[in-house]
Amino acid sequence: MQPDPETLRGNWSYPTAIRFGSGRVRELADACKALGTRRPLLVTDPGLAALPMVKDALAANERAGIPTALFSEVRANPVLANVEAGVAAFRAGGHDGVIAFGGGSALDCAKAIAFMIPQTRPIWDFEDVGDWWTRAATNGIAPIVAVPTTAGTGSEVGRAAVITDEQSHVKKIIFHPKMLPGIVLADPELLVGLPPQVTAATGMDALAHNLEAYCAPGHHPIADGIAVEGMRLGREWLPAAVADGRNLSARAYTLCAAHMGAAAFQKGLGAIHALSHPLGAVLGTHHGLANGVFMPYVLAFNREAIDEKMARVGRYLGLAKPGFGGVLDWVLALREQIGIPHTARDLGLREGDLDRFAGLAAADPTAAGNPVPVGPGELREIYAAALAGRIDA
């Protein structure tokens, strides 16, 4: 029996304050006030900026005595120029907080804007390398209210932002603990109008976060527990969300799965993300879609190291055929069911790109978390398999 969406509601405090449930976006002004924000800048993408949900949020804040300006110069894969323009708008408007409103790109850009307000060093000095985050000035980082409108990246509960360096065509992870939003308004009603293709692609991003976190080496039982339940929610509810975007229960559970993936992947990510990031930076490929395409090829490559883990996952998910083969079959069937392409050729990858992209993937920080060590040669091998649609497991 499908649960009543009205019962899928709660106030949580992990990893930050989350107000979850239908209609919670109406608490936006209250959330701003709770963080001491009286003149916020709402950061979103151009498409959302034209929709009623953003216009309604701006109007509601105005009525509540929280005048809010709009910034929407955010690309699908945000770049430094977007962050710099947002910082300039923040300062020019005398704002005192940021509302991050949208999918992963808008959320990442908004978080980077809030973080960069007091900084005097360039943003690349805060890449997620060693203790580079300690270089940051913390006094003046703007408070953030996050309002996700997709169930994918989970950026609303993350401490990092992915920004593309246009000069090197590399996606870089900018990290600081104070990038974590102070309050999240997680309202599944905001996802109702999301097209099936976007629902599928973002859902595969959330699944990739949970799956790679679980497969990552290292001892982190907390992240593992979150990850397997996130996978279960994706298995049970992502197809329903794609099939019927008005299904609020499906929207709520996939939104939870996205939160869980972002909380879990503090344990690590792996080759799925390492392979996907260069395509997003160079070709503008949707990140979640690329993750969905590369997922089975990376699973097959990693089989020797993850066999036992996949057996546990298969049992937890209730697969008819537990074990690695059952998990791989499920991933392939899920992709087909929700319309994820089978080969990387559908992403725009070509044979002549393999050496370049393999080098970029090997340099990506997520590559280090793969359960089987990978370098340019191994990553080229996986790219080639994905290009040919060949799964050797």
Architecture per CATH, domain 5-190, reads as 3-Layer(aba) Sandwich (3.40)
Which tokens go with 117?
């307000």
pLDDT digits (tens, 9 = 90+) for 141-190: 999 999 999 999 999 999 999 999 999 989 999 999 999 999 999 999 99
pLDDT, mean of residues 95-110: 98
Closest of 133, 231, 238 to residue 179, by C-alpha:
133
- How far apart (Å, rounded) are the C-alpha atoms in residues 290 and 22? 30
Task: Report the pLDDT value the prediction gives residue 393, as an integer from 0 to 100.
Answer: 73
- Start-end ranges of CATH 1.20.1090.10 in the chain? 194-388
Cβ pair 75, 85 in contact under 8 A: no
Q: What CATH number does the domain located at 194-388 have?
A: 1.20.1090.10
- Start-end ranges of CATH 3.40.50.1970 in the chain? 5-190
Neighbours of 103 (CB within 10 A): 27
Burial of 149 (0-12, 13-18, 19+ CB in 10 A): buried
Which tokens go with 64?
């509540």
Single pTM value for the model: 0.95
Cβ pair 349, 383 in contact under 8 A: yes
Neighbours of 195 (CB within 10 A): 10
- How far apart (Å, rounded) are the C-alpha atoms in residues 343 and 385? 9
Cross-strand partners of 186: 20
- How far apart (Å, rounded) are the C-alpha atoms in residues 245 and 58? 25
Cα separations in angstroms, 223 against 247, 256, 265, 293, 316: 28, 15, 7, 24, 15
Which tokens go with 24?
């919670």
Which tokens go with 119?
């900084």
Task: Report the pLDDT value the prediction gives residue 1, as an integer from 0 to 100.
Answer: 60
Rounded to the nearest integer, the mean pLDDT of the chain is 96
pLDDT, mean of residues 344-350: 96
pLDDT digits (tens, 9 = 90+) for 103-130: 999 999 999 999 999 999 999 999 999 9
Instruction: Name the 3-class secondary structure at 262.
Output: helix
pLDDT, mean of residues 254-280: 97
Tell me the Ramachandran region of residue 22: left when phi exceeds 0, alpha when psi lies from -120 to 50, beta otherwise. Answer: beta
Query: What percentage of the chain reaches a pLDDT higher than 90?
Result: 96
